[in-house]
Structure 1
Amino acid sequence: MLYYVQEHAETTAHPELIGYHMMPLNEFFGGKMVSEVDKKACRDYRKLRQAGELGRRAVKEATARRELETLQAALNFAFEEKRLLYPIKLKLGEKSPPRVRYLSRSDVARLLGSALGFVPAYCDVETRQPGGWCRMHRPQYHVARFILIGLYTGTRHDAILKLRWQRHNSDGGWIDLNDEILYRKADGEGETNKRRPPLRIPVRLLNHLRIWRKHSALGPIEYNGEMIAKMKTGFNNARDRAGLGRDVVPHVLRHTCATWLLQSDETIWDVAGYLGTSEKVIRDTYAHQETSSKEAAKTRFRGR
């Protein structure tokens, strides 16, 4: 039964099998036999999820596919553990092309300004661009710090929030200001598919970190003397005041970092190492922004 696969997944150290994705999956597949999970069942699941007839709200096709990928991971794990006699291959549907939302430099300026409490005093009638910024809200320094760290390092949301100023016993990384290295995971912490390699702190960020260290005891993303678990309300408020769309979420900072690096003629290999991902992911997701190889191709036959 499918419910056994879920139960088994939740007792393992495989976080990709656990969480919100299992709730609508269990609602649809929970009472079925494994043999009933065929092409039609997967197609019906995607259709019901997109229509809002399954789960709490309607979702896009990409979300429904991602949920089926979670189920596929659970089934694969169950087969590897000899809980299933045969491997089960799901029909996930067509994979949507990656949609990469990244910020321009003016977008970042508006986002940072909003996080620090500034709002535009007026908008130009012709260009519709904001101007004459004035402070109208209480500055949210921890939000501004989060934005800058994400922008300069491309570190993922959760890893940024767990950063401390010193080594610690929890599951997060730390910032070594002496050797100028940012460790994105704790010493001895196991590696997952979302790799978190250490990186040399960029000079521009390093100057900010040295200042922030004087004003916070635990870590850079500290609020009222405590580390926060999620960057949601503060970021969303800054985004809305900046006039940016709902598609601007914290992960956009990672996309922006990768895009700006590629636009600065960094190689795919260097960007992949900097972000802690594979060259394939960078090539498939951001290849349209990569210019160094194109410039090299333009000059390859000069003088011949």
Structure 2
Amino acid sequence: MPRRAKGPRLYLRSRKGRPSVWVILDGPAEVSTGCGEHDRGEAEKALERYLTEKHRPDWHRGSPDEVAVADVLAFYGEHRAPELTHPELVGYHLMPLLDFFGDKLCAFIDAGSCRTYWRGRMEGKIGRRAVKQGTARRELETLQAALRFAYQSNKLAFPVPVTLPEKAAPRERWLTRSEAAALIAGALGIMPVAYDIENRKPVKWGRMFRPSYHVARFILIGLYSGTRHDAILNMRWKQNSRGGWFDLDHGIMYRRGQGQTETNKRRPPVPIHENLIAHVERWKQITIHGPVEYHGQLIAKEKKGFARARTLAGLDESVTPHVLRHTCATWMLQRGISTWEVAGFLGTSEKVIRDTYGHHSPNHLQTAKRRFRGHKLGNEKMKEAAQ
């Protein structure tokens, strides 16, 4: 039995004596994207454009048993994805979706096929590698959005439901003060070199590796502002339309660029934390575009540098860049700041703060604790009076 064609996909082509380049493999054809090894995001966009140009949808009468899933995804990638905050994520999600659903009709999509998809993704049978349930869920959410967009655009005659796996429980990992200090030290190449014999706690530290100053700045901004990963990386010193900036004259951190539309992940301006402002003033004197830059260029993702700092700090993989946001919220609540103020500072709802971090507040359920005490508890006369 012949093997099923994999369809258009990206491949990193090694070239003797020249830099590697991402190419699109489509059967016997090979199309260069012109993107180098470290330009995976641009290569994903090139693949998305290739898929859109290669195949033009045939909608027939719009019935789900006539319309191909590939047509729906191509239509979404061409007309809706460019308007999103992170269109590159659509390109990431399209490849495994096309690998499984690409040769199917929309009528194939039901609870069973969706379960088969997310289990196959988690087991590594679909796509390049195994992923967690949350990643498989986000990919199916892209499929769901594409089907909804096609229906709203009168390409599909009927809505096609998508069954999603359960949402993962919210992460509650946050850093203690000592863990945060160790993480910053790891970014600076500093680690313990001597330990106490009895309690095995470090007593002497030394710089053992080359420092990654941009990683240390990233960590400090995350800890003291609770700003999300991408917003930190896009922070600049001057007003711009691509990201936020620091207004040192007025002590304000603008986390959204001029003219950028607000999304569900709100980025309100906030005062620069008093523990951060001295650092920011110094960083401005030694950098060009923004605080998180490497060799004069803003970086796209904080992955390898953060992972190195985490390893040197002796922390496990549960510590991700997003944990800095959790830590900021937790520290604020531990200091007795109200959930309303914390929600406004982080740009989220008070309900999210209450449900995810509320137990860290010293005032958590204090009213119930005070009321549920006293020598009259369980008194029969009180019960009769209540009746």
Q: How far apart are the structure 2 equivalents of 1:47 and 1:198?
A: 41
Aligned-partner Cα distance in 1 for 2:333–2:122: 35
**Residue of structure 2 aligned with 1:172, choices 243, 251, 258:** 243
Task: Report 1:96-107 matches (<5 A).
Answer: 96-107=168-179
Question: 1:90-169 residue pairs with structure 2 within 5 A?
Answer: 90-168=162-240
1:6 aligns with one of 73, 80, 84 = 73
Whole-angstrom CA distance in 2 between matches of 1:30 and 1:146: 40
- C-alpha deviation, 1:296, in angstroms: 4.4
Residue-by-residue CA offset, 1:108-152 (whole Å, 9 max, x unaligned):
110111111211102344544333001122222111111000000
Which amino acid counterpart does residue 305 of structure 2 have in structure 1?
G
- For residue 292 of structure 2, the aligned residue among 221, 242, 249 is 221
Q: 8 Å contact 1:165–1:219 — kept in the other structure?
A: yes
Of 39, 64, 70, the residue aligned with 2:142 is: 70
The residue type paired with residue 107 of structure 1 is E
Deviation of the 1:288 alpha carbon: 3.3
What does residue 281 of structure 1 align with? 352
> Per chain length, whose mean CA-contact separation is higher, i.e. which structure has more relative contact order (CA < 8 Å, sep 6+)?
1
Higher alpha-carbon deviation: 97-106 or 147-156: 97-106
The reply on whether 1:57 has 2:129 as its aligned counterpart is yes
Is 1:195 matched with 2:263?
no
Q: Unaligned stretches of 5+ in structure 1?
A: none
Amino acid at match of 2:272: I
Q: Is contact 2:339-2:350 (8 Å) kept?
A: yes
Max Rg structure: 2
- The range that moved more, 100-109 or 81-90, is 81-90
Map of 1:260 onto structure 2: 331
Give 1 or 2: higher strand fraction: 2
Greater shift, 6-15 or 287-296, is seen at 287-296
For residue 39 of structure 1, what is the aligned residue in structure 2? 111
Q: Does 1:80 align with 2:152?
A: yes
Deviations 1:150-184 (A, max 9, x none): 0000111111111111112x411110000111000
2:311 aligned residue (233, 237, 240): 240
Percent sequence identity over aligned pairs: 53
Q: What's the TM-score, normalizing by structure 2?
A: 0.73
Q: Distance in 2 between matches of 1:289 and 1:233?
A: 31
Deviations 1:212-234 (Å, cap 9, x if unpaired)? 22222321112222222221222
**Counterparts of 2:165 and 2:195 in 1: how far apart (Å)?**
45
Q: Could you tell me which amino acid in structure 2 is paired with residue 4 of structure 1?
A: D
* Conserved 8 A contact 1:266-1:292: no
| 1: CA distance, partners of 2:168 / 2:361 | 21
SS, match of residue 137 in structure 2: helix
Q: Distance in 2 between matches of 1:22 and 1:284?
A: 33
Amino acid in the other structure paired with 2:363: S
Q: String of CA shifts for 1:267-289, please: whole Å, max 9, x gaps.
A: 22222211112223323332333
**Cα displacement (A) at 1:300:** 6.5
Distance across 1 between alignment mates of 2:354 and 2:75: 35
Task: Tell me which residue corresponds to 2:65.
Answer: none
Query: Which structure 2 segments of 5+ residues have no match?
Result: 1-67, 377-387
Paired residues, number: 303
- Checking the alignment, whether the CA contact within 8 Å between 1:100 and 1:286 is kept in structure 2 is yes
SS at match of 1:292: coil
SS in 1 for 2:351: helix
What does the per-residue CA deviation read over 1:4-36, in whole Å, with 9 as the maximum and x for residues that have no partner? 221122222134771312221111111111111
